[in-house]
């Protein structure tokens, strides 16, 4: 066995020993210096720890609000909101297609009323909020802004992120509504509006996370994500936006898997590649070349068998993210292969980050693995392999064309199939699944969501529609429809609509009539 060749999941051969001859990096760069391989801050976590987020959202706004207050009391430094499927694809809870899905994968948000309940007792000026929302990202951002205004907040101080990455939805995840071109138009409207009105807000979190969850390798994850990033930059430039302004508000969202060293090298390579890419696209401000990213531990690596083993997996993945220089981190609950995380699982996941931060010593120095022959070599190999893939996509005309031609989807599907084959043949060992199994497992009680939530939401919608000014609602929706056919920024009109209690479904349907739906 020891003489057999070994490879990372991206197919990079791992040598038994690495020496000086194996690395081309003769000079180890400094952090916060182009191309930022070693990190974007000169002192990294000595100056400020990463933002510790716990992704949460389920059932009704009131129930999710209780979990947020609990997490804040336990030491999270940023909120991360999960939305249910109807909210993600632009249906109110009373829509026939919402049946069976309301409040299941996240919280149900139909109107500003729900948003008010979601953040009750939480001052938006004092907390950074990340929202995992794409096709309806502009509506959720409008709801957040409307709530901040109601709280009397200074919009210059509001910070957070909307995921808002529609290209990976076409390629890997599926919660899209409109075709690619109008979707890209909405995204550039957000870039433009936020650059003037919401300067501390990250307008997009270009997401490799779901590309990886769909079965890609580490190399494909960064190649496809950075390629999507390039498409957003070009779309914004085509609209006349300044790369040095909007470039500073782009952020990324990556996955952290079990191969510790490959993951660390992946994060370092991604930073290097993005800096070079932004420079080539015309950025002159170094801050616009810096890749800032949030990380989530790998959901697809969690096993339903022997679920407590997932605590060890999440710990390894946490170390990879921190050694790789993440700015923000969510750690998965050990029970998430079975259900949404229980309060206990969410607490253990948060404690994993806190133990890493305060007890392990890995935050005491910048990029502690730099200069390792193995890490420097692996970083370079990942960069080279990912660059080849990006060049292939460029030849096709960029990410949008590559997605329309099915190239990215096919590459991911092929990798997912090969990975599963390795598990079936035991070439890849998954502890507790295809090796080291037990005959009888102690059941872990799952977190259950009550189906009656839909009735609650429907009742709330009925009451809302009875008391709001419905003439004003019609006016707002007509204004959005007209603006959608012109070159008018949609954000101010959507904010006005949600302030007048137009629902998420009504706004989405208005634009469905104009833009059509992507099939």
Q: Are 247 and 275 in contact (CB under 8 A)?
A: no
- Predicted local distance difference test score (pLDDT) of residue 25: 57
Are the beta carbons of 449 and 59 closer than 8 angstroms? yes
Measure the CA angle with vertex 12, ends 6 and 16; round to 5°. Answer: 40
pLDDT value at position 449?
74
Contact 174, 143 (CB under 8 A): no
Distances (CA, A) of 73 to 58, 68, 347: 19, 9, 11
**Spatial distance between the Cα atoms of 129 and 162, rounded to a whole number of angstroms:** 8
Instruction: Give me the residues of the chain with pLDDT under 70, please.
Output: 1-3, 24-27
Q: What confidence score (pLDDT) does residue 26 get? A: 53
pLDDT for residue 105: 87
- The pLDDT tens digits for 150-192 are 999 999 999 999 999 999 999 988 999 999 999 999 999 999 9
Secondary structure of residue 13 in the 3-state scheme: strand
pLDDT of residue 1: 45
Closest to 367 (Cα-Cα) out of 77, 97, 28, 51? 28
- Among residues 26, 150, 108, 17, the alpha carbon closest in space to that of 450 is found at 108
pLDDT at 2: 54
Q: Is residue 139 within 8 Å of 115, Cβ to Cβ?
A: no
Q: Are 19 and 26 a contacting pair, CB within 8 Å? A: no
The DSSP annotation for 133-189 comes to -STTHHHHHHHHHHHHHHTT--GGG-EEEE----HHIIIII----S-HHHHHHHHHH
pTM of this structure: 0.93
Q: What is the pLDDT at residue 441? A: 85
Query: Are 37 and 383 in contact, with CB atoms under 8 Å apart?
Result: no
Phi and psi of 485, rounded to 5°?
-90, -5
What single DSSP character describes residue 437?
-
Largest CA distance in the chain: 76
């Amino acid at each position: 066995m020891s003489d057999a060749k070994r490879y990372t999941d991206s197919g990079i051969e791992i040598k038994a020993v690495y020496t000086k001859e194996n690395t081309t990096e003769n000079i180890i760069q400094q952090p916060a210096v182009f191309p930022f391989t070693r990190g974007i801050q000169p002192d990294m976590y000595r100056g400020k720890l990463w933002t510790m987020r716990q992704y949460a959202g389920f059932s009704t706004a009131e129930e999710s609000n209780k979990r947020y207050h609990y997490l804040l009391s336990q030491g999270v430094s940023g909120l991360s909101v999960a939305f249910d499927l109807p909210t993600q694809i632009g249906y109110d809870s009373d829509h026939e297609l919402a049946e069976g899905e309301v409040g299941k994968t996240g919280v149900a948000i139909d109107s500003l009323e729900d948003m008010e309940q979601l953040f009750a007792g939480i001052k938006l000026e004092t907390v950074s909020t990340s929202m995992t929302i794409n096709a309806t990202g502009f509506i959720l951002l409008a709801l957040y802004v409307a709530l901040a205004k109601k709280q009397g907040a200074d919009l210059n101080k509001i910070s957070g992120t909307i995921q808002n990455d529609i290209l990976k939805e076409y390629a890997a995840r599926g919660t899209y509504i409109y075709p690619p071109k109008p979707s890209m138009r909405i995204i550039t409207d957000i870039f433009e509006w936020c650059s003037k009105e919401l300067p501390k807000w990250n307008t997009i979190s270009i997401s490799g996370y779901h590309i990886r969850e769909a079965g890609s390798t580490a190399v494909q994850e960064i190649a496809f994500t950075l390629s999507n990033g390039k498409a957003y930059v070009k779309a914004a430039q085509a609209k006349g936006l300044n790369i040095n302004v909007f470039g500073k508000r782009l952020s990324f969202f990556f996955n952290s898997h079990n191969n510790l060293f490959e993951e660390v090298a992946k994060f370092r390579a991604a930073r290097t590649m993005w800096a070079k890419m932004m420079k080539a696209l015309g950025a002159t401000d170094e801050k616009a070349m810096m890749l800032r990213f949030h990380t989530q531990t790998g959901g697809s690596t969690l096993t339903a068998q022997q679920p407590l083993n997932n605590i060890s997996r999440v710990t390894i993945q946490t170390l990879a993210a921190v050694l790789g220089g993440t700015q923000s981190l969510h750690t998965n609950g050990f029970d998430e292969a079975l259900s949404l995380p229980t309060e206990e699982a969410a607490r253990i996941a948060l404690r994993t980050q806190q133990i890493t931060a305060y007890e392990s010593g890995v935050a005491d120095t910048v990029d502690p693995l730099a200069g390792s022959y193995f890490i420097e070599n692996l970083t370079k190999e990942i960069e080279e392999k990912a660059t080849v893939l990006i060049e292939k996509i460029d030849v096709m005309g960029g990410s949008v064309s590559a997605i329309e031609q099915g190239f990215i989807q096919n590459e991911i599907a092929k990798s997912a199939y090969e990975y599963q084959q390795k598990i079936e043949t035991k070439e890849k060992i998954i502890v507790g699944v295809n090796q080291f199994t037990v005959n009888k497992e102690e059941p872990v009680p799952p977190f259950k969501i009550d189906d009656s939530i839909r009735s609650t939401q429907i009742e709330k919608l009925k009451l809302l529609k009875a008391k709001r000014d419905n003439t004003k609602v019609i006016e707002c929706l007509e204004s959005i429809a007209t603006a959608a056919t012109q070159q008018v920024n949609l954000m101010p009109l959507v904010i006005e609509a949600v302030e007048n209690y137009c629902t998420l479904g009504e706004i989405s349907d208005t634009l469905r009539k104009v833009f059509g739906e992507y099939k």
